[in-house]
Amino acid sequence: MKRSKRLQVVLDLAERKRKQADQWLSQAQGKVQQGEGTLAQLQGYYTDYANNFYQVGASGISPGQIHTHQAFMQKLRVAVEQQENALRIDREQLERVTAHWQSAYQHFKSVEMLVDKLKGQESKEADRQLQKELDERSQLIRPPLI
């Protein structure tokens, strides 16, 4: 069996690992994008609620409303902090997945180049063998005597 055919199994495995890494990378990127969107929404909601409350508060509000507002704003701040932490973790995970993807892609390309090189060598060897056989046959054929 030719070396290139034997290495084809390794290439197929490397390609499967690369495709798996592609999927993980895509999922990690999607998770970061989703987290960024959620954070932006929370921050926007926090800003809008605070501005709205201050506008309404200018006309006078009760101490109970102030307490309720402060409690809600605190919950929003906690939610923003939690989302920022989750986003930081997701970004770190994305960095690790990106490094894994680069490694898998590099390995796949290396094996692919090796298989291509071996196929080229095997093709040249087959051409040389064919030429050798043709040369040997041409020497065996005797020209007719005139």
Write the pLDDT tens digit of every residue in 90-124. Answer: 999 999 999 999 999 999 999 999 999 999 999 99
- Report the number of distinct structural domains present in the chain: 1
Q: What is the DSSP letter of 142?
A: P
Mean pLDDT of the chain: 90
Exposure pattern of 20-46 as b/e (b: 16+ CB <10 Å)? ebeebbeebeebeeebeeebeebeeeb
Q: Does a structural domain hold residue 60?
A: yes
Q: Does a structural domain hold residue 144?
A: no
Three-state secondary structure readout of 64-101? HHHHHHHHHHHHHHHHHHHHHHHHHHHHHHHHHHHHHH
Write the pLDDT tens digit of every residue in 71-89. Answer: 999 999 999 999 999 999 9
pLDDT at 6: 87
Task: Find out whether 27 and 101 touch, Cβ atoms under 8 Å.
Answer: no
Q: Does a structural domain hold residue 143?
A: no
Q: Does a structural domain hold residue 145?
A: no
* Residue 91 domain boundaries: 3-136
Which residue is associated with the tokens 């054929």? 141
CATH code assigned at 50: 1.10.287.1700
Q: Does a structural domain hold residue 142?
A: no
